[in-house]
Amino acid sequence: MIVKVNPQNPPGRHLRRAAITLEAGGLVVYATDTLYGLGCDIFNKKGMERALAMKGQTKFHSLSFLCNDLTDIARYAHVSTPAYKIMKRCLPGAYTFILPATREVPKLVLTKQKTVGIRVPNHPVALALVREFGRPITSTSVTTRDGEILGDPEEIEAKLGHAIDFIMDSGIIVGEPSTVVDLTSDEPVILRLGKGDPFLLS
C-alpha cells in the first residue's frame, strides 16, 4: 500500500497505520533527511528477517535504527561526555553514530563488540513515525538486492512493493547516505563520509 504523506506535516492517520504495520512485524518505507528508509520493529525478529531478505543481507547488526532524540539514545547506548557533546552539535542530522549498546538493545542487532548504529534524522516524517511507534525502528536505505538506491516512491512500489507493507510517499528524494561515525572511543572516527558535515565532529 502506498499513500501520499506531506513531508513537513505527516497526517496522524498515516502515522498510526504505519505504527500498526510495524507492530505486526511489517515493513514501512518513510522519508528521511538523506534517503528513503526501510523501517521495521527492532524487537520483532520476523520483521528484521524480512528487512534483511529484501536487502540481500545476512547480518542483523548491519541495520542501524532510529531514536527520537538524545534522551532516547541514552536508553539504548552508553554515551560518554565527549560523544554527547558531538551528538548535541550534530543531531538531529544526517549522521549514524556507532555506540556501545545497553541491555535495552535486543541481542540480534548487536555486533560482536556489542555496539549499535543509531540515527536521529532531521526530517518531520521519520521523527513523527518513531514517536508514534514509541520504540526504535530500523533505519536502512531502500535499495534493490543489487544495491541500487531507490528515491522515487512509485519506483519503490513497482520494484519492491511485493515485499513492503506500507509506503509513505513524500515525493522523490535525491540524496546521499548518512555520515557514519564511530564514537566508541574519545575521538570520533569517520567510517563513511556521507551527507553529514564532518567539520561538526571536531
- This prediction's pTM: 0.94
Show the low-confidence residues of the chain (pLDDT under 50).
Answer: none
Cα distance between residue 81 and residue 86, in whole Å: 9
What cell numbers appear for 153 in the block?
A: 516512491
Q: What's the confidence (pLDDT) of residue 110?
A: 85
User: Helices in the chain by DSSP H: which ranges?
Assistant: 12-23, 45-55, 70-76, 81-90, 124-133, 153-160
DSSP state of 101: B
Tens-place pLDDT, residues 115-168: 999 999 999 999 999 999 999 999 999 998 888 899 999 999 999 999 999 999
- Give the three-state DSSP class for 12: helix
At the fourth CATH level, the homologous superfamily of domain 2-196 is DHBP synthase (3.90.870.10)
Report d(CA 168, CA 155) in Å as an integer: 13
Task: Give the model's pLDDT for residue 83.
Answer: 96
- What pLDDT is attached to residue 93? 97
